[in-house]
Amino acid sequence: MSSSTSSSRRSITPADVDALRSLLAGTIRRWSRAAEKPAGVVLVPTAVEQVAVAVKYASENNIDLAVKGGGHSTAGVSSTDGGLLVDLNAKLRGVTVDVDKKLLKVQGGATWADVDAAGVKHGLATVGGTVADTGVGGLVLGGGYGWLSGQRGLAIDNLVEATVVLASGEIVKASEQDNTDLFWALRGAGQNFGVVTEFVLRAFDQGDVWAGIQIYPPTPENITKIVNATNELYQPDANGKTKLLGRGAGGISFGRPPPAGGQVVIIVAIIYFGTEHEAKSVFKPFYDLTPLVDTTALVPYPNINTLLAPPIGFRASLKGLAFALPIRPGFVQEVLENYVEFTDKNEDARTSVIMWELFDPAKVVSSDTGSFANRGWVLNGIALPLWTAAENDQAYRQWARDVNELFKKELEAQQKLNGDAKGDAGPRSGKGAVLLYGNYDQYDERSKDIFGENYSRLQSLKARYDPKNVFNKLFAVTPQA
């Protein structure tokens, strides 16, 4: 190695030190402050080869390894306490658009805001996160629901190719043509198999969208009318078709948003891939209720992924819930009472949210792509406690668990009513997996619960691609002996 000449050297300035401190603070920072851990060493790579060197070194020296994509996981899976952190988000978040082939080439540290911004310039979009500051990597590798799922399926259904750094440090391509077993595993259990430094995603023509939120007082009458109208739109008929035919999405939430002055309200998100006239006709029952606030308008596609974005800077737990249609108005009233009691008694958690996420699941159910085993007619919800004081971590996470138990009991009651109860494990997919979305916090579920009958095949592939279990942060698959 040649020595540096005097002309190539310079002194380190205070500005350099400040820049380094800022970079290091950013690498540790997470969307949930409760998910932050002090890494022992941080790598901010600018090329896939640098990632490969770091992964190989961690594997050979039994060093705990974490990878930060968007840093949105509230379970702390992108953090390490004293180990090696590879921060893709700082320097590897570019997006290239192939307009002719309608493909988006996305680096592993990009967020969905990066993808949306690149695609909209060309009138293109793909299935991405419902919150724009979510990282692409974590969402895609865990399945990937988005507001376009009613028309286009999951994010993994639109993954064309992935560039992967394996535990050995080898860099490979995975697709339907190359390393097909690895490609199958990546689409649903991807966090177990390597660091994906580039995703190639299928894009679609996408114009403006009718979307916004409506806010209503949480009266029993409003709850009943909103829930009944929701069931009418989203509940599939005997042929698996809904009135929305995949063109509508949104949700029902309880919150205390600033426009309501801290009062508890019902927040209805309306997203419709069509004209204003069509949307107002389809969602007429909601408009007839005369909301206190109505922001619905024709907006660029990226705007819909900011509609329900929670505030940044809190400690948080994004606890996954599951529910089935029809939603029962009495159950929603019960959840409201629980929410009001919790947020009234806990000033530090008054910005918390409970939400039922809504879309037409027919497209998702019709596919069988990858190792994702949780497809079904059960939809996702979230209990999202938001707080500031670390001493409240345990109590507020427990509240999210308690809300989850309410949803589980309601789902079990629906099963019994329909004569299809299957024991204490709760509803299962056709692959024997619990119908819970693994990208949300699932504190008490095991990997076998999430992957169902795919687990044994995943174990075999894990033994081939990651026998030392280097990648073990989220629903870790035990390598087959």
Model pLDDT, residue 3: 43
Q: List pLDDT tens digits, range 150-195.
A: 999 999 999 999 999 999 999 999 999 999 999 999 999 999 999 9
Q: List pLDDT tens digits, range 246-300.
A: 999 999 999 998 878 889 999 999 999 999 999 999 999 999 999 999 999 999 9
Question: Residue 237 burial (CB < 10 Å; 0-12/13-18/19+)?
Answer: exposed
Q: Is the pLDDT of residue 425 over 50?
A: no
Instruction: Supply the DSSP symbol for 20.
Output: H
Model pLDDT, residue 13: 74
Closest CA to 185 of 481, 468, 447: 447
Angle of CA points 6, 11, 12, to nearest 5°: 145
Cα–Cα distance, 83 to 67 (Å, whole number): 11
Model pLDDT, residue 433: 73
pTM of the model: 0.92
Give me the percent of the chain exceeding a pLDDT of 90: 78
Cα–Cα distance, 414 to 377 (Å, whole number): 13
Greatest mean pLDDT among 9-23, 210-224, 369-383: 210-224
**Residue for token digits 């004081």?**
389
When pLDDT is cut at 50, 70 and 90, the band that residue 474 belongs to is confident
Q: List pLDDT tens digits, range 392-401.
A: 999 999 999 9
Mean pLDDT of 433-439: 76
**Residue for token digits 């939430």?**
253
Greatest mean pLDDT among 306-315, 352-361, 433-442: 352-361
Average pLDDT value for the chain: 92
Cα–Cα distance, 62 to 57 (Å, whole number): 8
Radius of gyration of the chain (CA): 23
| Cα of 97 vs its chain's centroid, Å | 23
Q: Give me the domains of the chain, ranges plus CATH numbers.
A: 21-87 (3.30.43.10), 95-206+445-465 (3.30.465.10), 209-299+310-418 (3.40.462.20)
Cα–Cα distance, 130 to 146 (Å, whole number): 5
Number of other residues whose CB lies within 10 A of the CB of residue 432: 16
Model pLDDT, residue 21: 63
Number of other residues whose CB lies within 10 A of the CB of residue 4: 8
Model pLDDT, residue 175: 98
When pLDDT is cut at 50, 70 and 90, the band that residue 203 belongs to is very high
Residue 123 backbone zone (phi > 0: left; psi -120 to 50: alpha; other: beta): left
Cα–Cα distance, 126 to 145 (Å, whole number): 11
Q: List pLDDT tens digits, range 101-153.
A: 999 999 999 999 999 999 999 999 999 999 999 999 999 999 999 999 999 99
Cα–Cα distance, 38 to 44 (Å, whole number): 15
Extract the tokens encoding 431.
Answer: 């692959």
